[in-house]
Amino acid sequence: MEANILGQDDQGCGVEVFDENNNRHSISINWGGTIHKHSTENYPLQPENRTPDEQRIMTQVEERAKYAAQQEFPDAEILHPMWDPAHVEAGLRSLASYDVEAFHEEFREFYEAIQDPKEYVQDPEMDEPTAVVNKPLRFSDDQLVDVADLVVEYQLETGQDRVVGSYPSWPTEETLVLHLPKVELAEDFVYEDQMEDVVVSHVMAQIRDIYLNMGEDPPEEYRVEGIGKLHIVGDEGWMERQSTTG
């Protein structure tokens, strides 16, 4: 998608985006990242009147507009850092430089929890498919400087939300969060040899999904398989097309 800044004032900025069908959209975004107005002549303005594909395009256009605005105005807080590919890339670099022995010590609990969240939390009422195991990391200048305890979010079988653990009060611009559901690892999986690859691949897949969420093909180095973001508006057929055209 092509995006251009239209102007700015004290309240926010305007962005025009041309979508995958070359249809023009005009989006007003306030400096806190809220979409104030989204105008187009090519799709229904009310979500309930759109087809699923039209809704996908409208949502991706808004994400693309916010990304363009954040790049143009880097001091604004338009995108949450975890949806800014440059931020997640910086976190990835910090992981790459982390001491291997420290990694083995700090990530053992994450490794155990993603295999069996119910056992980790010890809540027999957990609806295990809803469980997400989060691992917050703090980085600065491409170095990992702190590793927090796990935060497990899930629902009970009754549908009630539960959270075990708490997030650290680190600046968001210094925080990277790993988040994985229950994962089945191979029987011959060797923690010391393979867990770092699992974590790095997950972060790369997060970057992949940030681009897909705004209707863009990821850069070549991030066209990886695996679990990234858990909720995106990306093209579900993208990975299959890569395997047939690559």
Cβ-based neighbours of 192, under 8 Å, separated by 6 or more = 104
pLDDT digits (tens, 9 = 90+) for 118-174: 889 988 899 999 999 999 999 999 999 999 999 999 999 889 999 999 999 999 999
What's the predicted TM-score (pTM) here?
0.89
- Which tokens is 239 given? 């990975």
- Which tokens is 153 given? 């979010």
- Which tokens is 244 given? 């047939």
pLDDT digits (tens, 9 = 90+) for 9-58: 999 999 999 999 999 999 999 999 999 999 999 999 888 999 989 999 99
Q: Are strands 24-30 and 35-40 parallel, antiparallel or unpaired?
A: antiparallel
> What are the distances in angstroms from CA 24 to CA 44, 78, 174?
13, 21, 35
pLDDT reported for residue 244? 47
pLDDT reported for residue 235? 58
pLDDT over threshold 90, residue 234? no
Helices (runs of H) and strands (runs of E) counted in the chain: 7, 9
Confidence tier at 241 by pLDDT (50, 70, 90) = low
**Over the chain, what is the mean pLDDT?**
91
Rounded to an integer, what distance in angstroms lies between the CA atom of residue 102 and that of residue 110? 14
**For the chain, percent of residues with pLDDT exceeding 70:** 95
Give the max Cα distance, the chain: 58
